[in-house]
Amino acid sequence: MDTVDTRATLGDPSKCGHVTLIDHATGKQYDLPVLQGSEGPKVIDVQRLYRDTGYFTYDPGYTSTGSCDSQITFLDGEKGILRHRGYAIEDLAEHSDYLEVCHLLLYGELPNAGQKAEFEHDITYHTMLHEQLQYFYRGFRRDAHPMAVMVGVVGALSAFYPDSTDFHDVQKRRLATHQLIAKMPTIAAMAYKYSVGQPFVYPRNDLSYAGNFLHMTFSVPSEDYKISPALVRAMDRIFILHADHEQNASTSTVRMASSSGANPFACIAAGIASLWGPAHGGANQAVLTMLQEIGTKDHIPEFIKRAKDKNDPFRLMGFGHRVYKNYDPRATILRTSTHEVLEEVGIKDEPLLDLAMELEKIALEDEYFVERKLFPNVDFYSGITLKAFGFPTSMFTPIFALGRTAGWVSQWKEMIKDPQQKIDRPRQLYTGHQARPYVHLDQRL
């Protein structure tokens, strides 16, 4: 399967002219090549900038910087478009399933029936964890955040699979990607079980990927556990919607950590750590906390006012995005899905959903949010859906991590195979002291 490589057929970015940089201090001119991908804005290639001109670019937060070329995910933030390998997220969410999407991201194509059966078999074969890993869980406090547990346990896998560091071996690379996709639901479910003091539940390979995750999370050995196919489907859709999102903070973290040649499990642990923050994946937990804090609709204006106040650190969680300047297409799908899940679990009235919809309406009519093009993002509705499943808020971000694993491993694999790959090493604009003489302790003020 690893031989499927769309890079060869799709080709490299094409050169399409140049821009001229004029250094007014010296009067020198430099031509910088302009590149065009298959879609999206043109890109100025500055790889030779320092060598040719002696200048670096300065771009904190990488707001105008492309770190790599990639063939996995396309995002047009102005139009609210998200596609994986050319397929619209709306189509994937409606017609596909998570493991198919994993195959698509990893290997470039949706699997045919034979490939699908083989891939599903390969993944389910790796769902169990080494029994010794249970002791890692038991070393954590019961009230540890499951993301803390996941960073630790996924990082620990690098000690259990040290061979995976030899990732230039195609078989070992493939094994590591499959192990990560397969084990993440087990790891997340065990983090939950540990936090509530229930026995760990082993994976069941006769269940679907999402069905097995729900089983490991919510079943107990003393009772039969049954879940409706509609809820399994909704869980699977949540995984699809989180599967990849091009060069976001956690994916870039995985790429950067891996660029030194580090063990893939340790690098994915670094991605999980990055995802945890409230500006990224941690926002789904923060949205629910915020809605609970707002409490009732009459408090919305007060919180909108706070979100607009530059002296108040409060932000409307689940709103705004670095790339989307339009409705996040994942939020649109999730909003519909939320209603379906609530109906399926028999919740007729969810005050938090009413509150969220009212908050969205008010914010979208407010000049501050309109001017800055701040729209609901994927995290705005996911928490309400996950709450309806029965997940505690602390599990929301681990579920994001579970879904995003497909993207992390696919982007990691793409990076490893990129002939241009080199260690990531940004430069800096130094603003500290210039050279000064050492001050001996007895002379310091």
DSSP H or E stretch at residue 81:
strand 81-84
DSSP H or E stretch at residue 18:
strand 14-23
Cβ-based nearer residue to ligand CMC, 155 or 271: 271
The CB-of-288 to ligand CMC minimum distance in angstroms stands at 12
CA dihedral 375, 378, 384, 385 (to 10 degrees): 140
**412 and 168 Cβ atoms separated by less than 8 Å:** no
Is 299 considered catalytic here? no
Instruction: Lay out the sheet containing 43-44: strands in order across.
Output: 14-23, 28-36, 43-44
The CB-of-424 to ligand CMC minimum distance in angstroms stands at 20
Residue 394 tokens read as 């602390």
Q: Which residues bind ligand CMC (CB under 6 A)?
A: 248, 279-281, 283, 307, 315-322, 372, 374, 377-379
Three-state secondary structure call for residue 263: coil
Q: Tell me the β-bridge partners of 21.
A: 30
Residue 186 tokens read as 């087990």
- Dihedral angle sign, alpha carbons of residues 195, 199, 202, 207: negative
Is 321 considered catalytic here? yes
Written in H, E and C, the secondary structure of 76-89 is ECCCCEEEECCEEH
Cβ-based nearer residue to ligand CMC, 232 or 286: 286
Q: Which of 236, 321, 328, 366 is catalytic?
A: 321
Residue of this chain nearest to ligand CMC (CB atom):
320
Cβ-based nearer residue to ligand CMC, 61 or 197: 61
Instruction: DSSP letter for 133, please.
Output: G
Question: Other C-beta atoms within 10 Å of 265: how many?
Answer: 23
**How many angstroms separate the CA atoms of 142 and 248, rounded?**
31
Cα→Cα distances 202→131, 197, 206, Å = 10, 15, 12
Cβ-based nearer residue to ligand CMC, 247 or 248: 248
DSSP line for 156-180? HHHHH-GGGG-TTSHHHHHHHHHHH
Residue 4 tokens read as 């499927």
Question: 288: Cβ–Cβ under 8 A, 6 or more apart, which residues?
Answer: 352, 383, 384, 387, 393, 396
Q: Which of 236, 244, 366, 379 is catalytic?
A: 379
Cβ-based nearer residue to ligand CMC, 182 or 254: 254
The CB-of-242 to ligand CMC minimum distance in angstroms stands at 9
CB burial of residue 355 (10 Å; 0-12, 13-18, 19+): buried
**How many angstroms separate the CA atoms of 207 and 413, rounded?**
28
Cβ-based nearer residue to ligand CMC, 33 or 66: 66
**How many angstroms separate the CA atoms of 378 and 240, rounded?**
12
Cβ-based nearer residue to ligand CMC, 313 or 346: 313
Question: Other C-beta atoms within 10 Å of 36: how many?
Answer: 14
Instruction: DSSP letter for 139, please.
Output: T
Cβ-based nearer residue to ligand CMC, 257 or 374: 374
Question: Other C-beta atoms within 10 Å of 221: how many?
Answer: 10
Catalytic residue list:
321, 379
